[in-house]
Amino acid sequence: MAQISLTFPDGNAREYAAGVTPAEVAADISTSLAKKAISATVNGAHWDMQWPIDADASVAIHTMKDDAQALELIRHDCAHIMARAVQEIWPDVKVTIGPVIKDGWYYDFDREEPFTPEDLGAIEKKMKEIINRRDAVTTETWDRDRAVKFYEANNEPYKVELIEAIPGNEPIRMYWHGHWQDLCRGPHLQHTGQVPADAFKLMNVAGAYWRGDSDRQMLQRIYGVAFKNKEDLKKHLHMLEEAAKRDHRKLGREMDLFHMQEEAPGQIFWHPNGWRVFTTLQDYMRRKQNAGGYVEVNTPQVVDRKLWEASGHWEKYQENMFIVEVDEEHAREKAINALKPMNCPCHVEIFKQGLKSYRDLPLRMAEFGSCNRYEPSGALHGIMRVRGFTQDDAHIFCTEDQIESETKEFIAFLSAVYKDLGFETFKVKFSDRPETRAGSDEVWDRAEAALLAATRAAGIEPELNPGEGAFYGPKLEFVLTDAIGRDWQCGTHQVDFVLPERLDANYIGEDGAKHRPVMLHRALLGSFERFIGILIEEHAGKFPFWLAPRQVVVASIISDADPFVHEVVAELKAAGVLAEADVRNEKINYKVREHSVGKVPVILAIGQKEVEERTVTVRRLGEKQTSVVTLDAIVEELGQAAKAPDLA
């Protein structure tokens, strides 16, 4: 029998007969490894312990200590175990597919009766029984005809359709978890007992069309989460509880910030409180950009398709654009325009007006640009994922030699802004060329090398994010982690050699000849709408004082205090504080409770004693203790706190 050589992570190699399985390799290394092994990586591919290895390969054996592999297998096996549990309880239910997703899995079922919360409890109980049985997981490869006949005989039409969709004559991988069988690529654990029985939970049920086609059968999708141990599950469930409390849609209602309605899908109706947050943040960004050497411009909302065709957006991005047809007077055909999905081509058109010299570079051009992009209705999510939004967008026109210095300066600028907004650290991802792109490989080589070198020169080693660049150039993505551990991709910085070429932008170099500028696309917040949603959830509605839409409520305890209440409000306003009076004929506890729900940071209560002593009783949001402070002291303190970080 032919021999093959397997090389292990430590560099050592061993000879085995061709067709050896990772399980046999693990047993050959040690008995303890054979017991602990859950899967292998063979030449970079995740491998089932039962799959044969037929040629020389690099091999690593995994145990439950290897988080990525362990979690993938636990979640994948949970999907199968859940489907088995459902069919053991309700044998007539048809099964479809059950992939691993972030933090867990889902499985789609065809069942006439809707699953109830009580059903989920019964399924969980049955899953634990299956796990405790420690049933073996086995696998075989079958030819297509045999697999189709098997599923036809077992009245599983969805599996038949899945097999028919597999291209060519590839062998069909079949798995058994005990007696229960499923069609699956694998890999899987070696027995059901390897799934931790106390580290998973079924979460909810949702509707899902078969193959995502609204003309097909509506199925029931059960979602679950799974981890390596019950402590990790407990942490995750706590995070979900926190996320529900912080949900920007819920807090947006309670704080009267905004609303959305079906007549304007993906568009935001900003209320006075929410618009105050928006404009305060915009004013702050405008001052920071002015100080950073940016010039601010404004460009049209509706632009003729000719510009989008010239820029490449019509070809690469049209499905995300809102098209506007206009019957121009005396025109033989309708004029076709588009609402701008981004500002880049319009900024190039401004750059092209008048002759530019190398002495004018770098030219940093900023716009709070209102953009519109089509997003499927199912992808819309509060103000986080919308169709109409405002970017804190800018384009830096520079020479190739200036890419490094401009990138370093931008990263420093972004770091300062994020720190002002409460985010001390961030991660950076480097996204290189996508499959669909404009420009030659030589141009992409230059752009990627320049951006990567500039990032490293700024002291940052980015995480690689292959194939996720924009169609015109590579990009950096700046990822924030919020108070409960969730990541948010916000800022971007992209190097573009393509658009200036396509739109014929030039500057006069030191040699007197025309040269193409490099275009750096950059945003810090991404979109104001999404970033405000992130801030709401990061702070659980308790905005930093300077950004809070309602900063202080001065509330009377007795009606005789009303004149002093209005005097306090007037002094606070004069100091630049957003202050309002509450002199309603209500008990003070009622007023405090109502304004606390509205997330007002400071409530000043005034009764007879405060009037006589010209003091206020201070209640701060989230604190049980109150304090008594003189009027002059509180005006001084809150006047300073109300200043934006760049003005303090």
Please give the annotated binding residues for Zn(2+), written as ranges.
Answer: 344, 395, 521
Contacts of 224 (CB under 8 A, 6+ apart): 78, 79, 82, 104, 105, 106, 200, 201, 202, 203
Task: Considering the candidates 276, 373, 433, 591, report the single residue annotated as catalytic.
Answer: 373
Residues contributing to the annotated binding site: 344, 395, 521
Active-site residue, from 77, 393, 482, 496: 393
Is residue 62 annotated as a catalytic residue, yes or no? no
DSSP 53: B
Q: Which of 376, 477, 357, 362 is nearest to 427 (CA)?
A: 477
The answer to whether the Cα torsion of 595, 596, 598, 600 is positive or negative is: positive
Q: What is the radius of gyration, based on Cα positions, of the chain? A: 31
3 is catalytic: no
Place of tokens 């079924």: 202
384-388: long-range pairs with CB below 8 Å, 24+: 384/248, 384/529, 384/530, 384/533, 384/534, 385/266, 385/530, 386/266, 386/267, 386/268, 386/527, 386/529, 386/530, 387/265, 387/266, 387/267, 387/322, 388/266, 388/267, 388/268
Catalytic residue among 69, 194, 220, 391: 391
Run of H or E including 296? strand 294-296
Catalytic residue among 188, 313, 521, 550: 521
514 is catalytic: no
Q: What is the DSSP letter of 52?
A: -
The structure tokens 């085995």 sit at: 16
The token pair at 221 is: 């999708």
**All residues at 6 or more sequence positions from 354 whose CB lies less than 8 Å from its CB, including other chains:** none
β-pair type (579-582, 552-556): parallel
Structure tokens at 240: 């979900």
Residue of 75, 475, 515, 522 with catalytic role: 475
In 3D space, the residue among 531, 602, 539, 573 whose CA is nearest the CA of residue 281 turns out to be 531
Does 391 participate in catalysis according to the annotation? Answer: yes
Alpha-helical (H) ranges within 368-469 are 403-420, 441-457
Annotation says 456 is catalytic? no
Q: Which of 249, 302, 257 is nearest to 279 (CA)?
A: 257
CB 610 within 8 A of CB 617: yes
Residue 422, phi then psi, degrees to nearest 5: 100, 10
| Sign of the Cα pseudo-torsion (91, 95, 99, 105, in order) | negative
**Which residues have a Cβ under 8 Å from the Cβ of 139 and sit 6 or more positions away?**
48, 50, 51, 173, 174, 175, 176, 186, 188
Strands 463-465 and 427-431: parallel
The helices-and-strands tally (H runs, E runs) of the chain is: 20, 33
Catalytic residue among 344, 346, 398, 490: 344
Active site residue 125: no
Q: Are 175 and 79 in contact (CB under 8 A)?
A: no
CA-CA-CA-CA dihedral for 237, 242, 245, 251, to nearest 10: -130
The string of DSSP letters for 562-589 reads HHHHHHHHHHHHHTT--EEEE--SS-HH
Cβ atoms of 114 and 220 closer than 8 Å: yes
Residue 52, Cβ neighbours under 10 Å: how many? Answer: 13
Reply yes or no on whether 373 is catalytic: yes
Beta strand 363-372 with 294-296 is parallel
- The dihedrals phi and psi of 238, each to the nearest 5 degrees, come to -65, -40
Catalytic residue set:
344, 373, 391, 393, 395, 475, 521
